[in-house]
Structure 1
Amino acid sequence: MAPPQVRHISKCTITPRRTLEETPPPKSCELTPWDLAILSVHYIQKGLLFFNPSSQKHPSNPIVHLLKQSLSQALAHFFPLAGRLKTHHSSPSSSHVFIDCNDAGAEFIHAAADVTVSDILDPIDVPQIVKSFFVFDGAVNYDGHSIPLLVVQVTELVDGIFIGCSFNQTVGDGTSFTHFFNMWSEITRRGGEENVCISAPPVTQRWFGDLVPSLVCLPFSEADDFIERFSAPPLRERIFHFTTESIALLKEKANKDCNSNNISSFQAICALVWRSVSRARKLPPDQTTNCRLAIGNRSRLQPSLSPHYFGNCIQTVTASTTGAQLLSHDLGWAAWLVHQSVAAHTDAIVRATLDAWVKAPTVYHLSRFDSWSVMMGSSPRFDMYGNDFGWGRPVAVRSGYANKFDGKVTSYQGREGGGSVDLEICLLPEFMNALELDDEFMDVVSNSVVFLP
């Protein structure tokens, strides 16, 4: 029997809905070094699974109409998402990339698939059809010159609905993505009422520190000079659930191992994953290995940026050691390395890295990630389960094809809250098979979550 397919029912462009009294937005949005450095990275692809909010099926489901209406209102607040990227060449060897806030609009796709919520949640590995709940597989952020910066696909299932967003990362990071999703769901929950005021308006003015925005550009004349089209090898993708209780015990053990009270729950989780994946890969004793973490800068800057700053404000910090050191020491030793890398990321370091980038601009390529390390992305602090569109909380968060490679770990809050965590781990099949047999890892993991409507 052929696997189920996603059928596209309709597609349209959604533009911002503004009142005549509103002040028009800026005509352009400048991009910072953090924005430009990820031009060759894939779009963010993340979405939410819900039980069916309506008994009415396509093609005239009123829920779909409401989502279009509320998206239009959300774009009035998050106006950069309705624009397109544009490049101005100030010299033959210099590219100034920015967002043209031209209200070209976001794309909205209404789709359907003959699968159930259980078909998505029950398999051990994330089923392949989840990737079809998103568009722009393989698209990189630079492609926002010619394609929308935001595409929403609403896929009706047999007993549920999936709302997936493909979100250009030059517009914003994971914090900004979650902020947009939270405000869109808030508008929808209130019935898409006219002239809606949202509870947390975005701060759309970009932060450049002490840099002169006009000097922030790329030393390339052609996109081919810095854009890479990365394709991941076949991977296994699995969601591992960590209960509040198991995380508390893990944190306690990590702190006890190194006689400390400073290691956080997430740092302990990172250490566990780093050690366990390294064992699964049979890491050679003299091989250098890294645990990389995407880390937010908003609260680290002095003065701090608003948590509602809409743009990129993240960097990667790295804990590094050899295979012999990592696996001969205990959990707390590895957790302390992770803790030190986080603690060292100060305001001075953040500003210094911006200055260094301007002197030697670089664009990150996914192919540069080394195969002996792990990369911890996203955050369990992102309130994805708070996205109530008016028919209850989501039952799961899932992601698409984008930005995945051997060793990529994406963290989400657990659905039951209370500090629980879900990790989406991507590994080559032989390494995932070995991870599932790793006693230290599996003793902490719990897969006993019950998803309720």
Structure 2
Amino acid sequence: MSQAKLISETFVRPEIEVDEFKRVHHLNPIDVSRLLMDNSQPGYLYAKPPSNFTPSSYLELLRSSLSQTLVHFYPLAGRLKIKAIANSDVQTGSKPILTFQSLIAFVWKCITRARNLNPGDLTTCGLPLNLRPRFNPPLTNEYFGNYAIKAKTTVKVGDLLVNSIGWAATLLNKAVEAQDDKSARDIIKRAMEIGPVLVPPTRTCRSNDVIVASSPRFDVEASKFGLDRLVGYRGGYTNKGEGKVYAYSGSLGNGSMDLEIRLVPQTMAALLLDREFMSFVSPNNAYYDLVSKI
């Protein structure tokens, strides 16, 4: 294991100071509930940069970008391809299943099979959902608070395993579509009635469940500041638990997705022996070659 080498350090301040952005930021009940959770620590691995790349130019681009970002968020700084298969199983008249929902339905089913649970046990799958556009009128995309929840579906293990991917994907789709203005306001109303509840990081996922975090919609290629192509991700150790799945835009491109799946060793071993699961997995040789040299 090679040692990390410090090549530069600097203190980044806002590019300009705007009084409007110094106002107090009030936390909504969903924000308050997550104050005990650790900061996410995703890392991105890139291939060796081109020959004309210089660390000083890269660091200046990064410093400039962070400086512009802090103009808006300085008060908080330092504080706080299975789609076709699934759709073929959907009943006529149902809404088309999104690729992401199809993929997660497939992963949920494969993980549940690898866990070797009793058919009568319950298993839940939760998808991240942005509540901003669900309100009427909708909140703007610039709203800073975390109005995001998990759209959850709970079924018996036996039902999940004997039915098709399309069946599971349809349930996930319905759970997402059920979140409208009324349900979004009910969530906030209940949180206000109960009062602030801090959720400890150890309660982020139960042993029979699959909980998805992050999103493949985030375009990391757009913010690489002159580095070469993206090779892979390192998710860090915070807010992790059995059955936690992190989804990223695929480092292989062409609409692919990279998944970071956290499982206990015996379940992971069974998952890697699952022929159906492995038939849809593409090996990322560039990532393994790079990691082996770290």
Deviations 1:405-445 (A, max 9, x none): 11000001113444321111111111111101112211222
Of 294, 297, 303 in structure 1, the residue corresponding to residue 137 of structure 2 is 303
Matches within 5 A, 1:88-237: 148-149=78-79, 168=80
Of 195, 198, 215 in structure 2, the residue corresponding to residue 379 of structure 1 is 215
RMSD: 2.8
Q: Which has the higher strand share?
A: 1
Give the counterpart letter for 1:34 in structure 2: I
2:230 counterpart SS class: coil
Shift of 1:40: 1.3
Give the counterpart letter for 2:211 in structure 1: M
Of 66, 69, 75 in structure 2, the residue corresponding to residue 71 of structure 1 is 66
Mapped to 1, the partners of 2:207 and 2:281 lie a distance apart of 24
1:102 is matched with: none
Contact 1:386 1:393 in 2 (8 A): no
The TM-score normalised by the length of structure 2 is: 0.86
Mapped to 2, the partners of 1:316 and 1:300 lie a distance apart of 14
Count residues with an aligned counterpart: 285
Shift of 1:448: 5.7
Deviations 1:363-413 (A, max 9, x none): 222323210111011111111222131345533333211111110000011
Mapped to 1, the partners of 2:284 and 2:116 lie a distance apart of 29
1:364 is matched with: 199
Cα distance change of structure 1 residues 252 and 56 upon mapping to structure 2, 3 Å threshold? closer
Mapped to 2, the partners of 1:396 and 1:403 lie a distance apart of 20
Mapped to 2, the partners of 1:13 and 1:448 lie a distance apart of 36
Q: Which runs of 5+ in 1 are unaligned?
A: 83-147, 150-167, 169-246
Shift of 1:323: 1.2
Of 340, 357, 360 in structure 1, the residue corresponding to residue 174 of structure 2 is 340
1:423 counterpart SS class: strand
Of 437, 446, 450 in structure 1, the residue corresponding to residue 273 of structure 2 is 437
1:78 counterpart SS class: helix
1:292 counterpart SS class: strand
Shift of 1:37: 1.1
Cα distance change of structure 1 residues 392 and 298 upon mapping to structure 2, 3 Å threshold? farther
Which range moved further: 378-387 or 67-76?
A: 67-76
Deviations 1:130-155 (A, max 9, x none): xxxxxxxxxxxxxxxxxx23xxxxxx
Shift of 1:13: 3.5
Mapped to 1, the partners of 2:271 and 2:153 lie a distance apart of 21
1:14 aligns with 2:12: yes
Mapped to 1, the partners of 2:7 and 2:254 lie a distance apart of 39
Of 292, 296, 306 in structure 1, the residue corresponding to residue 126 of structure 2 is 292
Mapped to 1, the partners of 2:6 and 2:225 lie a distance apart of 22
Deviations 1:63-108 (A, max 9, x none): 33443344223211332333xxxxxxxxxxxxxxxxxxxxxxxxxx
Contact 2:114 2:271 in 1 (8 A): yes
RCO comparison, higher one (Cα < 8 Å, 6+): 2
Cα distance change of structure 1 residues 392 and 309 upon mapping to structure 2, 3 Å threshold? farther
1:32 is matched with: 28
The TM-score normalised by the length of structure 1 is: 0.57
Mapped to 2, the partners of 1:390 and 1:8 lie a distance apart of 20
Shift of 1:26: 2.5
Percent of paired sites with the same residue: 37
Shift of 1:11: 5.0
Mapped to 2, the partners of 1:448 and 1:62 lie a distance apart of 29
Contact 1:291 1:374 in 2 (8 A): yes
Mapped to 2, the partners of 1:301 and 1:5 lie a distance apart of 50
Deviations 1:251-304 (A, max 9, x none): 222222232552211111111111100111101111111001121112222222
Which range moved further: 3-12 or 272-281?
A: 3-12
Mapped to 2, the partners of 1:262 and 1:347 lie a distance apart of 22
Mapped to 2, the partners of 1:438 and 1:276 lie a distance apart of 8
Matches within 5 A, 1:76-87: 76-82=71-77
Of 250, 255, 268 in structure 1, the residue corresponding to residue 87 of structure 2 is 255
1:316 is matched with: 150
Mapped to 1, the partners of 2:237 and 2:134 lie a distance apart of 31
Q: Which has the higher helix share?
A: 2
Cα distance change of structure 1 residues 76 and 393 upon mapping to structure 2, 3 Å threshold? farther
2:292 is matched with: none
Cα distance change of structure 1 residues 402 and 384 upon mapping to structure 2, 3 Å threshold? same
2:102 is matched with: 268
1:395 counterpart SS class: strand
1:183 is matched with: none
2:291 is matched with: none
Cα distance change of structure 1 residues 388 and 408 upon mapping to structure 2, 3 Å threshold? same
2:41 counterpart SS class: strand
Give the counterpart letter for 2:11 in structure 1: T
Mapped to 2, the partners of 1:332 and 1:354 lie a distance apart of 32
1:4 is matched with: 2
